[in-house]
Amino acid sequence: MTLNRRTFLGTAGVLAAGLSAPMVLAQGKPRVVVVGGGAGGATAARYIAKDSKGEIEVTLIEPSRTYYTCFFSNLYLGGFQELSDIAHSYGTLAAKYGINVVHDWAVGVDRDSKTVSLAGGGSIPYDKLILSPGIDFVDGAVEGWDVIAQNKMPHAYKAGSQTELLKAQVLAMPEGGTFAMVAPPNPFRCPPGPYERVSMVAHVLKANNPTAKIIIADPKAKFSKMSLFQEGWADHYEGMIDWIGEDFGGGNVSVNPDAMTVTIDGEETKVDVCNVIPAMKAGRIAEMAGVTDGNWAPVNAADMSSKADPDIYVLGDASQQGDMPKSGFSANSQAKVCANAVRGALTGSKIFPAKFSNTCWSLIDTDDGVKVGATYEATPEKIAKVDGFISQTGEDSDLRKATYQESLGWYAGITSDMFG
Ligand SMILES: Cc1cc2nc3c(=O)[nH]c(=O)nc-3n(C[C@H](O)[C@H](O)[C@H](O)COP(=O)(O)OP(=O)(O)OC[C@H]3O[C@@H](n4cnc5c(N)ncnc54)[C@H](O)[C@@H]3O)c2cc1C
């Protein structure tokens, strides 16, 4: 292109209007590849495809044909949702938004040639790559447990068959049996998740097996919404739940899946169900792309771009962004900021200042919902919390019921925001 007065003024006008200069591309349409069709990836793919109105080619790589949301998977355990209620397909993303949905694993990223290779063979070129692969477990995090043992001691921290298995195990517990949970260290996916799960398991046991016991071995001294959960456990499930925190050796744990034993600070207990939730790190493809610090992928708060590569963005649980908890709401919120920035970089559309929000609802018992949430902004260092809110202990039952109802509305909203 020759730079004449008209093109120069055109570009300057675009920049003055708060628009960004589009990236100069060798081929026709700019190409965005998204790896992972969960809360972050599906949202980003849908927003880029929807808002660019065909100007950008979007490919979504996701191995599963059905995505089971981890959010509300505890409610499935508790009998408040069916498995089919938390199952979603990618058909609308392809049919309505024209996204090229590839059901395969991404097994490599070549940052020089800007291609993503697939387990099934071949590779897909990108101008911008968005990674939202969720979490993987840290090898050897819980002594005696590895992924081979997940049928005997399920994690159920990626929803689907693991969640079904855990529910079947809870329902098959002998009368007066013991359910154990090994809780993870920070940071991890869904900070209130293990404690909502315990509440839901207690709800089921109270109805079917009221003399059963629950023990939680926890490496942490405190946990999300702790006083709310502890109040609820005392109110609804008195004497059933024993939380063993860091002070009582809750972090000094080993398990034996063949013998079905859990050893906490030297004391061995025979259990009937053991839900092991190991320490977590970014989904492996982020590490393979070379954008992690070994555990998580550091990103710039303004657009979720990787600190290691400006053409790669990392969303959701896999990212290390600052103050936001690793939640579906956070991933969805980050995806919209990223989609706007990626579209701006590729087409010159307006880029809005980054604003984020999150709320995590938890159900303790029927109609007893609690929540914690905050708004956030991008600073040069991180995504920083602006202000927050949390349910209070002692709230009346109408408010708790309304909080639960609010969570049902949120679920309907976020899943249609992800999948169309
Ligand atoms: C029990 C439980 C309860 C929860 N409850 C809530 C809640 O109430 N509210 C809330 O906001 N959050 C909740 N969460 C957290 C929420 O599920 C996650 O934070 C959210 O799913 C993160 O989104 P993500 O896009 O980072 O990862 P995911 O949603 O896990 O999506 C990652 C996707 O990437 C795919 N993938 C991974 N590797 C590859 C690869 N190499 N190639 C291609 N695809 C790949 C996976 O198949 C997966 O579909 C809960 C989590 C759990 C476990």
Which residue, by CA, sits nearest to atom 13 of ligand 1? 71
Residue pair 244/252 in contact (Cβ under 8 Å)? The answer is: no
Q: Are residues 299 and 344 in the same domain?
A: yes
Q: What are phi and psi of 415, to 5 degrees?
A: -70, -30
CA distance 218 to 202: 17
Pocket lining: 71 vs ligand 1, CB cutoff 6 Å: yes
- Of 63, 73, 61, 259, nearest in space to 161 by CA: 73
Q: Are residues 119 and 225 in the same domain?
A: no
405 in a structural domain = no
Helix, strand, coil % over all residues of the chain, rounded to 5:
35, 25, 40
In this prediction, residue 1 carries a pLDDT of 33
Pocket lining: 40 vs ligand 1, CB cutoff 6 Å: yes
Q: Distance between the two ends of the chain, CA-based, in angstroms?
A: 39
Q: Are residues 115 and 8 in the same domain?
A: yes
Atom from ligand 1 closest to the CA of residue 414: 11
Atom from ligand 1 closest to the CA of residue 134: 27
Q: Walk along the chain (420 residues) and give the pLDDT tens digit of each residue.
A: 333 333 333 333 333 344 566 665 656 899 999 999 999 999 999 999 999 999 999 999 999 999 999 999 999 999 999 999 999 999 999 999 999 999 999 999 999 999 999 999 999 999 999 999 999 999 999 999 999 999 999 999 999 999 999 999 999 999 999 999 999 999 999 999 999 999 999 999 999 999 999 999 999 999 999 999 999 999 999 999 999 999 999 999 999 999 999 999 999 999 999 999 999 999 999 999 999 999 999 999 999 999 999 999 999 999 999 999 999 999 999 999 999 999 999 999 999 999 999 999 999 999 999 999 999 999 999 999 999 999 999 999 999 999 999 999 999 999 999 999
The domain tally of the chain equals 2
For the packed helices 161-171 and 193-208, what is the interaxial angle rounded to 10 degrees? 40
- Give a three-class secondary structure readout of 308-370: CCCCEEECHHHEECECCCCCHHHHHHHHHHHHHHHHHHHHCCECCCCEEEEEEEEEEECCEEE
- Between the CA of 160 and the centroid of ligand 1 the distance, in Å, is 12
In this prediction, residue 213 carries a pLDDT of 98
Any idea what the CATH number is for the domain that residue 130 is in?
3.50.50.60
Domain that residue 108 falls in: 2-136+281-352
Out of 35, 46, 62, 70, give the residue to mutate to test ligand 1, the one with the largest number of ligand atoms within 8 Å of its CB.
Answer: 70
For the packed helices 328-347 and 397-419, what is the interaxial angle rounded to 10 degrees? 30
- Between the CA of 132 and the centroid of ligand 1 the distance, in Å, is 8
Q: Of 278, 313, 334, at which residue does a domain stop?
A: 278
CB atoms within 10 A of CB 320: 17
Residue pair 217/182 in contact (Cβ under 8 Å)? The answer is: yes
- Between the CA of 134 and the centroid of ligand 1 the distance, in Å, is 5
Q: Of 236, 251, 278, at which residue does a domain stop?
A: 278
CA distance 328 to 373: 13
Residues in contact with 279: Cβ distance below 8 Å, sequence separation at least 6, in sequence order: 137, 138, 141, 142, 184, 185, 188
418 in a structural domain = no
In this prediction, residue 319 carries a pLDDT of 99
Which residue is associated with the tokens 């840290």?
138
Q: What is the DSSP letter of 292?
A: S
In this prediction, residue 23 carries a pLDDT of 67
414 in a structural domain = no
361 in a structural domain = no
Q: Are residues 226 and 252 in the same domain?
A: yes
Q: How many residues does the chain have?
A: 420
370 in a structural domain = no
Cα Rg for the chain, rounded, in angstroms? 23
Residues in contact with 156: Cβ distance below 8 Å, sequence separation at least 6, in sequence order: 73, 77, 162, 163, 165, 166, 197, 275
